[in-house]
Amino acid sequence: MGNVLIVDDDALIREITKDLLTGAGHSVFTAKDALEGLDLLKKEEINAVILDIVMPLHSGFEMIPQIKKVNTDISIIIMTAFASLDSAIEAIRMGAYDYIRKPLKEEEVLHAVNRGMERNRLLVENSSLTQRLEERIKRLELFETISRAVSSTLDLQKLLEKVMDITKSVLGAEACSVLLLDEAKGELVFTVALGEKGEEVREFRIKPGQGIAGWVLQHGEPLLITDIKTDGRYYRELDDKTGFETRSMIAVPLLVKDRSVGVIEVINKVIGSQFDKADEDTLVTMAGQIAVAVDNARMAEDLKRSKEQIEGYSKNLEEMVYKRTGELEKINTELKAAQAQLLQTEKLSSLGQLAAGIAHEINNPIGFINSNLRTMGEYREDLMRLIEKYEALANNIKSSNNDLLSSMVDDLADTKMEIRFDFIMSDFSKLIQESRDGAYRVYKIVRDLRGFARADDAERKFVDLHASLDSTINIVWNELKYKADVIKDYGDIPEVECLPAQLNQVFMNILVNAAHSIKNRGKITIKTYSEGERVFVEISDTGAGIPEENLSKIFDPFFTTKEPGKGTGLGLSIVYGIIKKHNGEIKVKSKIGEGTTFTIELPTKMGIPEGAEG
């Protein structure tokens, strides 16, 4: 449906036609003569005009050219009587689209108007497609020109100046610039700046996030700003210092492998008031080509420098190889020493993290030992009072003073009841046993801690892995007990030849990581079993799990998902190195929200450590 204008001097014809079209869903405007009709055409968006040929003052013939001046695509439908059919044909020749005959028939009127509306829609659509096609051709010609420029030179400065000159001309901009990221200083530098004040802006440096260009660099997204002064990201200092007035602009990132290496800006449209989406799309496409050219030019510069370096190296190759070999031998020696130091450092770091928990574990038994001993001291004082009274009683018995003896016996009974003598005597044995148990717990924790903390002397031993696991659990118990129930599913396994202190560190790192992965309360299951000459230890948790994309990286040095300051990223890397040193394997399976399982596979006989000589 659309808007229809009826121009006829006959009021009855106007009303009849209006009723027909309104009933069909059209919006209808009416005019009694040409002047009124032309005035409505200028005010309203009209899709079709039903025009009577014979009217006073101005005829329909005279009105047709004037209608076309207002809207060339509008559909004009002539109303004519049978006797004036030739006049209708003449009107069509002058630009009318169709005609209907009087007296009017509903189906003819609706058919003619609907056809006119469809014609109008097709003309508008065709005009839009034609405009888009012209813009596409213009853009293709621009891209071809830029492609030729890109392939003509690898000199980055000359290339950018040439491309920006083309861009400024094609987009009709007052000024344009290319800002490239100085990787060393982390700032955008005006590499090319064309237009008024172009030379003056070269001294400015833009930080990521500063101004429009800084925002585009940081976010990697283009910006089309029609009124720059209303945008809070606008960096006014440039205009204030150069005297240039920025009204509108387009800023587009230069992306190389999804990384922003710079920004292109075009400023102020010369023809027309503002840039539009088509201009932005054009600049985005150009930026892709320019980014590739920048990357190619930089690679060419790098290759050139590399070639010069290689030529320089080739002149003294033998001396450099000898020198480099000596450096590598030194580095290798230092690396071996660093690896040994790193292993002990990570162990001490882990123990440092556990120190508070171990102190807590020790404080508990020491606490009740002290409490019991204090209570036993109070008991001693009460017993001494009782014993003193017994001594007095004994002295009086000797003097045979019966009245006094009776009184003191009663007093003795009261004192015995007051101090709860019977309870004290029964509680003594319990306090002493608890104190012994507490002292043993302290001894056991300190023993396990001392054995765990000592530097590895590389002495191989056959050990019971279950004892090693139990000792490690005892050390890290304060990390585990608040987060998980530890379930031991120990199988029948032989002793394993290993470096015990290093295996203890493996178990500790995995157990602590398991506890840290559990948010509230969960389970940690330790399962052991053997197959032939291989022993397996599975440590499973019901924690948060490891994302699939991180599974291949968890054994990499310094990789960690913990917050800064809460992990070195070395724990699992050292675990991997220790297992490899034992000629074993470590595998991990994980599912988000369900947990993680580490499977350690060790030979019963260690053999020659992986990577060792001989």
Percent of the chain with pLDDT over 70: 78
Give mean pLDDT, residues 219-244. Answer: 87
Q: What is the pLDDT of residues 406-425, one digit of tens each?
A: 777 777 778 878 888 778 77
133: which residues sit within 8 A by CB, 6+ positions away? none
pLDDT of residue 601: 95
pLDDT digits (tens, 9 = 90+) for 144-168: 666 666 655 667 788 788 878 878 8
| Helices 317-399 and 277-315: angle between axes, nearest 10 degrees | 100
pLDDT band with cut points at 50, 70 and 90 for residue 356 = very low
Res 339 pLDDT > 60? no
Tell me the pairing of strands 496-498 and 534-541.
unpaired
Average pLDDT, whole number, for the chain? 80
Q: Encode 395-452 in three state secondary structure.
A: HHHHHCCHHHHHHHHHHHHHHHHHCCHHHHHHHHHHHHHHHHHHHHHHHHHHHHHHHH
Predicted local confidence at residue 496, as pLDDT: 94
pLDDT given at position 613? 45
If one counts every other C-beta atom within 10 angstroms of the C-beta of residue 27, the result is 15
- Nearest C-alpha neighbor of 437 from the set 532, 334, 367: 367
Please answer whether residues 534 and 494 qualify as being in contact, where contact means their C-beta atoms are separated by less than 8 angstroms.
no
Query: Residue 45 gets which letter from DSSP?
Result: -
Q: How far apart are CA 92 and CA 75, in angstroms?
A: 11
What integer pLDDT is reported at residue 493 of this predicted model? 95
What is the three-class DSSP state of 302? helix
pLDDT of residue 491: 95
How far lies 294's CA from each of 254, 287, 302, in Å?
A: 9, 10, 12
196: pLDDT strictly greater than 90 = no
Q: Tokens 């990787």 belong to which residue?
A: 183
Cα–Cα distance list, 4 to 1, 11, 106, 108, 346 (Å): 9, 16, 15, 15, 85
pLDDT digits (tens, 9 = 90+) for 594-606: 999 999 999 999 8
Inter-axis angle of helices 421-453 and 500-517, to 10 degrees? Answer: 110
H or E element that contains 176: strand 173-182
φ, ψ of residue 196 to 5 degrees: the values are -60, 135
Which two tokens mark 592?
A: 């988000």
pLDDT band for position 455 (50/70/90)? Answer: very low
Contacts of 378-382 with CB under 8 Å at 24 or more apart are 379/424, 379/427, 379/428, 382/419, 382/421, 382/424
Tell me which of 31-45, 238-252, 330-344 is least confident: 330-344
β-strand 534-541 against 595-603: which pairing, if any?
antiparallel
Does the structure show a pLDDT above 80 at 352? no
In 3-state terms, what secondary structure has residue 228?
helix
- The whole-angstrom separation of Cα 220 and Cα 252 is 8
- What per-residue confidence (pLDDT) applies to 610? 52
Q: Count Cα neighbours of 460 within 13 Å in the Cβ-side half-sphere.
A: 12
| CA separation for the pair 488, 539 (Å, rounded) | 10
Residue 464: per-residue pLDDT = 93
Give the integer Cα–Cα distance in Å for 35 and 44: 14
CA angle 168, 170, 174 (to 5 degrees): 35
Of 464, 515, 521, the closest CA to residue 490 belongs to: 464
Distance, CA of 594 to CA of 69 (rounded, Å): 74
Residues 6+ apart with CB under 8 A from 429: none
Mean pLDDT calculated for residue range 120-135: 74
pLDDT for position 146: 63
3-state secondary structure of 83: helix
How many Å apart are CA 429 and CA 59, to the nearest integer? 129
Strand partners of residue 182: 187
Percent of the chain with pLDDT over 90: 18
Name beta bridge partners: 539.
Answer: 526, 598
On the question of pLDDT at 350 being above 70, the answer is no
Distance between CA atoms of 196 and 185, rounded to whole angstroms?
27
Instruction: Please list, in sequence order, all residues whose beta carbon lies within 8 angstroms of the beta carbon of residue 159, skipping any fewer than 6 positions away.
Output: 149, 150, 152, 153, 293, 297
Closest CA relative to residue 269, chosen from 314, 210, 217, 224:
224
**Helices 465-475 and 500-517: crossing angle, nearest 10°?**
50
Tokens encoding 356: 């508070």
The pLDDT of residue 457 is 47
**Phi and psi for 380 in degrees, rounded to 5?**
-60, -45
The rounded distance, in Å, linking the Cα atoms of 25 and 371 is 97
Tokens found for residue 262: 């710079």
Q: Which residue has the higher pLDDT, 446 or 223?
A: 223
Most confident by average pLDDT, 169-173, 244-248, 414-418, 601-605? 601-605
**CA 271 to mean position of chain CA atoms:** 42
* Per-residue model confidence (pLDDT) at position 492: 94
The DSSP symbol for 74 reads: P
Q: What would the pLDDT profile of 479-525 be if each residue is shown by its tens digit? A: 888 899 999 999 999 999 998 888 888 998 899 999 999 988 999 99
Q: Give the residue with greater pLDDT, 506 vs 558.
A: 506
User: Per-residue pLDDT averaged across 229-237, rounded?
Assistant: 86
113's tokens: 């108007």
Tally Cβ neighbours within 10 Å of residue 560.
17
**Higher pLDDT among residues 372 and 105, named by residue:** 105
For residue 530, give the H/E element and its range.
strand 522-531
Check if the beta carbon of residue 13 is closer than 8 Å to that of residue 52. Answer: yes
Residue type (1 letter), 186: G
Do 44 and 3 contact (CB within 8 A), yes or no?
Answer: yes
Residue 229 per-residue DSSP state? G
**Is the preceding omega at residue 500 within 30 degrees of 0, hence cis?**
no
- Which has more pLDDT, 435 or 476? 476
Comparison of pLDDT for 159 and 343, the residue scoring more: 159
Q: Cα 443 vs. chain centroid, distance in angstroms?
A: 49
- Please, which residues bridge with residue 412 across strands? none
CA dihedral of 188, 194, 200, 205, whole degrees rounded to 10: 0
Helix (H) or strand (E) holding 51: strand 48-52
